[in-house]
Amino acid sequence: MDQERASLAPVQAPSPPPSRLESSPSETSALVAALPRLRHGSVMVIGDAMLDRYIYGTVERISPEAPIPVVSVEREVAMPGGAGNVVRNLTALGVPVAFVSVIGDDQAGSDLTALVGGQPNVEPWLLVQGSRVTTRKTRYIAQGQQLLRADREECRPVHPKLKERMLRIAGDAMAATNVTVLSDYAKGVLAGDVAPRLIEIARKAGRKVIVDPKGADYSRYAGADIITPNRRELAQAIGMDVSNEAALVAAAVALRDKYGFGAVLVTRSEDGMTLLDAHGVRHFAAEAPSVFDVSGAGDTVVAVLAAGVAAGLDLALAARLANVAAGIAVGKVGTAVVRDTDLMHALSTHGGALRKIMDAEGAQEQVERWRRMGWRVGFTNGCFDLLHPGHVHLLEQARGACDRLVVGLNSDASVQRLKGASRPMNPEAARAAVLASLAAADLVCVFDEDTPETLIGLLKPDLLVKGADYTVETVVGASIVQAYGGKVMLADLLPGHSTTATVAKINRRQNS
């Protein structure tokens, strides 16, 4: 009993209560300052790679063959899942990654190899085992609901000869990187003695190991520096109650002591995270304003945590960043990644308006979230240089005809090509900020092309809006929108307002 009390003593010291980031400007500033440092480390990821497929469509009838919905497929998306999703999140942060895994000699394996190879800053070591099936998960989604998930997988250990080759490659990759992540999805790559041997190799190389665990036997991960179970996994691994905060902390202490972990980071879904290390216990409140999809959120946590540790951040600071990233991840669709720009927006102390400004990829994810909520998305575009009442009138009409409005904004280079070297009068950052401050604009996306055609094709808005000085036939993107059933709207113009006329008037006054 005395020994048990001694082991609990460090966590009885007062610890910061759960609080949201906004309550502590100094902590938020520290997180913002840490973001550029994430790129300074490198990570080796080894674990179970899989192929995630998302098949999107609509359901308008029930099958006459059985009482099941008929999905009319509209599009398909494939991306790396499992350990591959950890890699995607790391590369999205600009972190160099070495990735070691085993795939099958099949089409899914080829697709996965191409997807991983297409990521920036990745050195992939996807070893092929001829008789193996590459794990793939196919999700069917309609009207914002997941109707079915079909899995094809093989969970047997890697062939012994291939295992030894994999361990040699992993050892070399560890020596060239700062931190090692074991991403265990129990599909066989880390089965048997692989995980303990990797931890021993890392210890000899002086590298820290972060484990995203699976199953109830945590003896395989003994001696790891950080382990990241969720609440259910913690209860399963240690056989203790975790129904309240005190019980969860006791279970985490028992787990750390039993297996010699340096730290335990417990992800607690809507209750945030709890970090237990040699300094005590810290609780981080959930940072998710809304939850759309929890798929891959754990991968995001591990990736951001690993990036922070690799960059030399204090563990608590890295965990806080991972907590913020988790809140962003569950607000996205599918196994989506979290970028440093997403983190910066979430940590922004400038209020909500600037968070409306997104790049094309971020805009696509946001539009998909709105669409899953059943909202009608509109789109309009322009240079919006010297914003005037005519612009506001058009934007308000557009917003009134939809549930959410995306405004495409020509970049400075685009405006110069269209209007001449003397334009724009205001740089794109200023124009975007002014647009974002308007209630009519729900999202602002800058594009560099001469026309928004590519952006329209990416976002697929339900409604495309331009001024009545156009005809439907001359509106850029109209044929794209109409091809998939969208509508084109010509908004009324407010007479007497023109940026070109205003600029000409200014020039005349300057020259007079």
- Give the whole-angstrom CA distance, residue 478 versus residue 488: 6
H, E, C per residue of 336-396: CCCCHHHHHHHHCCCCCHHHHEECHHHHHHHHHHHHHCCCCEEEEEECCCCCCHHHHHHHH
Q: Is 299 a catalytic residue?
A: yes
The residue count for the chain: 512
- Give the whole-angstrom CA distance, residue 196 versus residue 190: 9
Binning the chain into helix, strand and coil, the percentages to the nearest 5 are 45, 25, 35
b/e for 456-479, b at 16 or more Cβ within 10 A?
Answer: beebbbbbbbbbeeeeeeebebbe
Contacts of 331 (CB under 8 A, 6+ apart): 288, 289, 290, 291, 292, 369
**Element spanning 255, H or E:** helix 245-259
Q: What are phi and psi of 195, to 5 degrees?
A: -60, -50
Taking residue 235's Cβ as centre, other Cβ atoms within 10 Å add up to 18
Specify burial of residue 221 (Cβ count, 10 A radius: 0-12, 13-18, 19+).
Answer: buried
The DSSP string of 280-324 is EEEEE----S--S--TTHHHHHHHHHHHHHHTT--HHHHHHHHHH
Of 48, 111, 225, 299, the active-site residue reads 299
CB 209 within 8 A of CB 227: no
Residue 276 β-bridge partners: 264, 281
- The two three-digit tokens of residue 451, written as one number: 């026309």
b/e for 143-167, b at 16 or more Cβ within 10 A?
Answer: ebeeeeeeeeeeeebbbeebbeebb
- Give the whole-angstrom CA distance, residue 344 versus residue 332: 16
- Alpha carbon 160 to its chain centroid, in Å, reads 35
Catalytic residue numbers, as ranges: 299
